[in-house]
Amino acid sequence: MASRAKTYTTTGRKFSLTGKRIGIVVAQWHNDITEPLLQGALDVLKKSGIKASDIIIMQAPGSFELPLCAQWLIKDSKADAVLCLGCIIKGETPHFNYISEAVANGIMNLNITHNIPIIFGVLTTNTLQQSKERSGGKHGNKGADAAVAALEMLENKKR
């Protein structure tokens, strides 16, 4: 999947999304992971022709707050797509399970309710090392992958 993020195309097609507004909600918790995710997403969006003025960034305290912040961003900015970027690392308690499931369900519900792409760019890993490997390390940058997914979905909607 990391190779897709480097080419910024899907099956050879180039994105043509002039004038589209992209929202990004990024969790501040684990910002050593979420900042590189954000940068990966921004790199893809800008290289794909999305103007900086058409990218709206909102910070959320943590991943649990991503769905509500995404909803606010959709209403206030009229975004055509929203990326939700966060990091949830498994600990010694069931907290990981509750947060991960709540965030996934919240983002899924926003997709259906608002009929625009709300992209799940939340790392759910067992260790900090796994998160680092997915935020610019050996497994690519899932923030960049989330941006590619948003662009692909917008292209699909155009058809």
Q: What is the mean pLDDT of each run of 10 residues along the chain (159 residues)?
A: 40 64 95 94 90 94 96 91 96 88 95 94 93 88 94 84
pLDDT in tens, 69-82: 999 999 888 899 99
| Residue 14 is assigned to a structural domain of this protein | no
* Domain residue limits at 72: 32-158
Q: CB–CB of 17/154 below 8 Å?
A: yes
Find, among 106, 75, 73, the residue nearest to 88 by Cα: 106
| Residue 8 is assigned to a structural domain of this protein | no
Q: What is the pLDDT of residue 60?
A: 96
CATH number (domain holding residue 125):
3.40.50.960
Residues with catalytic function: 95
| Residue 138 is assigned to a structural domain of this protein | yes
Structural domain tally of the chain? 1
Q: What is the pLDDT of residue 155?
A: 85
Q: Which residues on neighbouring strands pair with residue 24, listed in sequence order?
A: 57, 83
| Residue 2 is assigned to a structural domain of this protein | no
**Measuring CA to CA, how many Å separate 18 from each of 75, 81, 92, 95, 115?**
21, 13, 46, 41, 20
| Residue 145 is assigned to a structural domain of this protein | yes
Q: What is the pLDDT of residue 32?
A: 93
Angle at 44 between CA 43 and CA 46, to 5 degrees: 65
| Residue 67 is assigned to a structural domain of this protein | yes
Q: Which helix (H) or strand (E) holds 32?
A: helix 31-47
| Residue 46 is assigned to a structural domain of this protein | yes
| Residue 15 is assigned to a structural domain of this protein | no
Phi-psi region of 30 (alpha: psi -120 to 50; beta: other; left: phi over 0): left
